[in-house]
């Protein structure tokens, strides 16, 4: 039986701080790349950039910053292509995120329109786009747009009271963004025997 190829899929991974969003997003993106699909992995957190933690400096073939994309007034395919990170010896796989030493204060904040343009361009460039969404959605327009526009959303849960409190307090804000609870796949992480 052959797998049906699903084009232009946008998957958002979201959860409380420390539940494993970035690792889950990276593993999922890697699986799609292994299936020979053109895959992008986007690290949306501009406060605590994860790209430098996930990829050692020596592994890049090409290294560019996601911040440069949002510094432009209009997001175009040429701009997105010019600012992707690629890895040595790995085809069909692009990464986007802030680089080592970068922080949200270096670049102007992304506007909602820019976030929507960016996601639209990614959909035309890749078969699958995996978004590692920031835990804190307030002020992070890219994360909010990713959750709102995703074809599939995964919400990771930790096994502690702090995580449950995080979701309870986030529910109202998700509603103001037009994001309902129903479309999330809910996954429990950090489960031990």
What would the pLDDT profile of 44-84 be if each residue is shown by its tens digit? 999 889 999 999 989 999 999 999 999 999 999 999 999 99
By the 8 A CB rule, do 16 and 162 touch?
A: yes
Cβ neighbourhood burial of 8 (10 Å; 0-12, 13-18, 19+)? middle
What pLDDT, on the 0 to 100 scale, is given for residue 189?
66
**What is the C-alpha to C-alpha distance for residues 193 and 191, in angstroms, rounded to an integer?**
7
Q: What tokens appear for 56 in the block? A: 């050692």
What would the pLDDT profile of 171-189 be if each residue is shown by its tens digit? 778 888 877 665 676 666 6
What pLDDT, on the 0 to 100 scale, is given for residue 169?
80
Helix, coil or strand: residue 80: helix
Dihedral sign for Cα 68, 74, 75, 81, please: negative
């Amino acid at each position: 039986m052959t797998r049906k190829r699903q084009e232009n899929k946008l998957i958002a991974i979201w959860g409380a701080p420390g539940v494993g969003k970035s690792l889950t997003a990276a593993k999922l993106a890697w699986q799609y790349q292994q299936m020979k699909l053109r895959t992008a992995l986007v690290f949306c957190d501009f406060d605590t950039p994860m790209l430098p933690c996930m990829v050692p400096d020596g592994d890049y073939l090409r290294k560019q910053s996601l911040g440069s994309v949002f510094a432009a007034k209009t997001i175009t395919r040429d701009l997105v292509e010019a600012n992707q990170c690629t890895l040595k010896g790995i085809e069909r796989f692009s990464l986007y995120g802030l680089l080592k030493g970068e922080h949200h204060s270096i670049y102007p904040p992304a506007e909602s329109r820019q976030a929507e343009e960016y996601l639209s361009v990614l959909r035309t460039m890749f078969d699958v786009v995996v978004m590692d969404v920031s835990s804190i959605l307030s002020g992070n327009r890219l994360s909010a747009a990713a959750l709102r526009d995703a074809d599939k959303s995964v919400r990771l849960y930790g096994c502690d009271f702090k995580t449950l409190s995080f979701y309870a307090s986030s529910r109202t804000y998700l509603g103001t963004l037009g994001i309902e609870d129903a479309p999330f796949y809910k996954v429990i992480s950090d489960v031990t025997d």
